[in-house]
Amino acid sequence: MMMLTSLSTAFLSSSLLRTGPLPSNSNGYFPSPRRRLNPKPNHHHRNRHLSLPLLPRTSPTRSIHCSSSMPLEVSTSSAQDSLLYSRAFWITQSIIAWNADVVRDGSCYLYASRTAALSVTDSEVEGHDFKIKLEEDTGGIPQNVIAKFPHIRDYKAFRVPSAVDAKSLVKCQLAVATFGSDGKCSYATGLQLPGVLDELFAYDGPLGAHYSEDAVTLHLWAPTAQAVCACVYKNVNSRDPMEVVQLKEDNGVWSVEGSKDWEGCYYVYEVSVYHPSTLHVEKCYANDPYARGLSPDSQRTLFVNLDSDSLKPEGWEKLADEKPIIVSFSDISIYELHVRDFRYLFIIKFYVPIVVPMIILCIRTFEVVIWPSRWSTFFLKDSAGVLHLKKLSNAGITHVHLLPSFQFAGVDDVKENWKCVDSTVLEKLPPDSIEQQAQITLIQDDDGYNWGYNPVLWGVPKGSYASIPSGSCRTIEFRKMVQALNHIGLRVVLDVVYNHLHGNGPFDENSVLDKIVPGYYLRRNIDGFIEHSTCVNNTASEHYMVERLIIDDLLNWAGNYKVDGFRFDLMGHIMKSTMVKAKDAINRLTKEKDGVDGLSVYIYGEGWDFGEVANNGRGINASQRNLGGTEIGSFNDRIRDAMLGGSPFGHPLQQGFVTGLMLQPNGYDHGGKEAEELMLSVAKDHIQASYLNAVPYLMMVGMAANLRDYVLTNSDGKEVKGMEVLTYGGAPVAYALHPAETTPMEISVDERCRLNHLASSVIALSQGIPFFHAGDEMLRSKSLDRDSYNSGDWFNRLDFTYNSNNWGVGLPPKQKNEKHWPLRKKRTAFHGTTFLLKIWMSLFLRIRPRLADPSFKPQKNHILAAINNFLDVLQIRYSSPLFRLMTANAIQERVRFHNTGPSWVPGVIVMSFEDGHRGVPGLTQLDPNYSFIVVIFNASPSEVSFASPVLRARTFQLHPIQAMSADEVVKNSSYETSTGCFTVPPTTTSVFVEYR
């Protein structure tokens, strides 16, 4: 498994800026900086619980929420309430699993109604077309089914007679009911069908639209549908379809051959299907799940042939041979960027004379906002943004990770519909004003900004990022963007969100998959309601055709758009088998056959383990602990939390190794003086006993690529493996098998900048794959907004001219930050208050005084210093292969930590890399220039000296990049050969090398 070392450093704050609330996983760890987990009010909030609520069974009326803004009222009797639930599972053609008890001399029946007319009375289930008796199977549920559906392992098995035509029944409303010896109905419920659908209808043939010289064919997998039509429209503005064609079914797949003239037109499916959320057969209108183009309003699918030469930029077919070379995944460094943040906004002001009564001539100012294609901003070779990316590429960044760029909800694709604020007005407001966020919040659901974690259709580029959202413009411009980035030395990673979908039900305009095969694509709980642990509408990759859709979509982006990598949002909610199959499928792509070298495509994601999938609750999932040996990367939250303190979801003043823990207290109560003294103690017991004592060892394991079997010396002076170092939650710190898997109030702005430098250097110089958020290198602040997924351009601005880091542009949006707004009370104000109130008053970060204080605002020289430092550490990383070791064995043999054991110097980490010598037995030689490297991270506010007998009598020199650095402080670093003593300035990372 590959480990990504990552840190989203936040200037002037010890917390991450892009975080939102998310439950900790079962291991006690908190996930990485999350995006958009508190959804947009106009979209996510309305639909957050769109599946059927868990309703009390005694209520005579049900309000069924099915993605429509208006709930559907269904009057029912108490017995009928049972059909609102789907607590039985048709798992194979011959077995239904259910946890119902059948009393002695009782009976159990399966009911089906093609018209969805089932109703339950005390003595019968009425309205059925079929009634089939079921017998309990004492053999229980087969083991292969339990492996797929472990959450129903203890259910009873009821055998379905072999004569039953299951393929026809799945198109009906279904229910099972038990009856007592007295003939009365004791229990009834609906059925969940994914198991039997997978057994009967798993399909590997063509899906979507396919183009030949003479025709266009459509294929749609919809085994529960009763009828399917395709409505074909001449253009986006056509009100009525020019043609409505009936598709024919063959074993669950509906298809039709149409005219070649369809190419360039639009279509939508009309699917007649029983929907469990409404208990009715509904006529649903849906896009093609395999859509490759869309109308501007996303309500129609575009017939677009991605193989057409007219959609390929010049030189597109040769791009695979022109891509930047990656010898090993260990050579990767990733830069995460939101397409919207990388933009050019042109505002044209013009003045119009207006004649008003009394012949007074007035001048009115109009602003016209011109929104060029977001993709095209990557083509502007001499723009400040592109020049900045070139600097990063030249220093060592290899991949640009783009936040979701597929079709997502929350941003209108038609730019003319966007609302904007007058930035000239906002710029005149005080830095701690409440007004900026008020104006931004007022339009935040109608502007053009959102991070994009609201998936609608995975396989289509986002329309709002194209210059023209209709037609094939999005395809051409996305390809040009990939090509442009490749040509400046950067590969492209696409952020994919397969763990959930924005819409569900038969009526939601953003619902697609749940309209076509209701109850299949979205994961449901044991009552039949959609799981929402990822935010909304969790998908179920354990189902065959969901897994297939994910893999097909990845192959679409890799093959048709030549994307170089994929980052999986909440990857732990996807099954491990899906991830492994996806990786294998991508790896099989070749330049000769597909125009893509699949072996060079890198896959990584968030391996958090929580919700219904925790502890393999829905099968073996793609969590950190399960991915070892797959060479699929997962984010390293351990090193991040140890550096910054706590977690992104803990208190913002909680300090860590880089943010002044023990050495520069910020007033936050970390457990009292005794606890802090315990940190400094060199004779304390187990690492887990104290959070502060654990920090350096968390860091060391993380810096050694989070390898499970890496051996280091703990605080007791004992040698332990990475898996034996425990976190605060009691779980192992290390989980990887492969190196590529995985602030105080009073200090000055100069000191804060140095903390930022230090944090960046820890990530850049660790083993594993470093991951940086855009703006880390420019002191990006977002005015202390802790979750800016929907905070608009104003709070998210990136200034590639380096004049501003966007600090002090107003109090951040109220919804997530208001409790941190008020002025901090002086210490004298605590006297006379209760102890509990004292704690409460000291616990919260106070944003307003920091924003208002001009001494907190970094100037251009600070930003330039941060950029130069970032470029320096990147160049140092790529100056030696010893920073990018390719195997776990190489790390164990060559990487050592020296400031360990009971006598460790607080606030200092000393790491060394040893190389072999050509022709000398022992280690092989990897580096032609350096035989030994020592890296010292000094997080303390004072100069430190560190001596080690192991490092004595060597010929270390300060790394030439640091010796030539614009940072005058690091140049004061020194090494004394006779004593083996290193001297490192305050808050500095120094790298020493021994030349061959």
Q: Would you name the residues annotated as active-site residues? A: 569, 606
The answer to whether the beta carbons of residues 724 and 934 sit under 8 Å apart is: no
What CA–CA distance (Å, rounded) separates 616 from 147? 10
The answer to whether the beta carbons of residues 128 and 118 sit under 8 Å apart is: yes
Q: Is 228 helix (H, G, I), strand (E, B) or coil?
A: strand
Position 672: which residue type? G
The answer to whether the beta carbons of residues 658 and 627 sit under 8 Å apart is: no
Angle among Cα 660, 662, 665 to the nearest 5 degrees reads 60
**Chain-centroid distance, C-alpha 591:** 29
Buried b (16+ CB within 10 A) or exposed e, 476-508: bbbbbbbbbbbebbbbbbbbbbbbbbbbbbbbb
Residues across the chain: 996
Residue in the structure block whose two tokens are 């107003």? 810
Closest CA to 171 of 274, 36, 89, 84: 274
Pairing of the two strands 988-995 and 455-461: unpaired
Question: What number of other Cβ atoms are within 10 A of residue 359's Cβ?
Answer: 6
For 97, 141, 540, 847, 906, the CA distances from 154, given in Å and listed in that order, are: 9, 8, 21, 52, 52
SS3 content of the chain, % helix, strand, coil (to 5): 30, 25, 45
What CA–CA distance (Å, rounded) separates 129 from 169? 10
**Residue 931 is encoded by which pair of tokens?**
């035989």
979 burial (CB, 10 Å; 0-12 / 13-18 / 19+) is: middle
What CA–CA distance (Å, rounded) separates 661 from 693? 10
Per-residue H/E/C for 849-884? HHHHCHHHCCCHHHHHHHHHHHHHHHHHHCCCHHHH
Closest CA to 851 of 809, 818, 820: 809
What CA–CA distance (Å, rounded) separates 72 from 57? 18
What CA–CA distance (Å, rounded) separates 778 from 190? 56
Beta bridge partners of 352: 364
What CA–CA distance (Å, rounded) separates 156 from 178? 13
Closest CA to 939 of 970, 910, 907: 907
Angle separating helix axes 749-764 and 860-877, nearest 10 degrees: 20
What CA–CA distance (Å, rounded) separates 87 from 64? 17
What CA–CA distance (Å, rounded) separates 728 from 37? 25
What CA–CA distance (Å, rounded) separates 519 from 538? 11
The answer to whether the beta carbons of residues 607 and 635 sit under 8 Å apart is: yes
Closest CA to 320 of 589, 585, 631: 589
**Residue 126 is encoded by which pair of tokens?**
């009425």
Closest CA to 543 of 508, 505, 514, 583: 514
The answer to whether the beta carbons of residues 932 and 880 sit under 8 Å apart is: no
The answer to whether the beta carbons of residues 109 and 177 sit under 8 Å apart is: yes
Those residues with Cβ within 8 angstroms of residue 614's Cβ, 6 or more apart along the chain or in another chain: 25, 26
Torsion angle in degrees (nearest 10) through CA of 922, 924, 925, 926: -140
Radius of gyration of the chain (CA): 30
What CA–CA distance (Å, rounded) separates 240 from 468? 23
